[in-house]
Amino acid sequence: MLSRVVDNTFCYNLDNGDMLRKVTVKIGLERIDTQKGVTVEALLDSGAAELVISLEFARKQEFKLKKIERPIYINSFLNKKGPIEHMMELNIYY
> Which 3 state secondary structure label does DSSP give 38?
strand
β-strand partners of 34: none
Report the candidate in 38, 4, 1, 44 with the shortest Cα–Cα distance to residue 24.
Answer: 44
Residue 14's pLDDT band, with cuts at 50, 70 and 90, is low
Q: pLDDT tens, 19-71? A: 556 788 889 999 988 989 999 988 887 777 778 888 888 899 998 999 999 98
> What are the CA-CA distances from residue 20 to residues 9, 48, 78, 89, 90 (Å)?
9, 17, 17, 32, 30
What pLDDT is stored for residue 18 in this prediction?
57
pLDDT at residue 84 greater than cutoff 70: yes
pLDDT at residue 91 greater than cutoff 80: yes
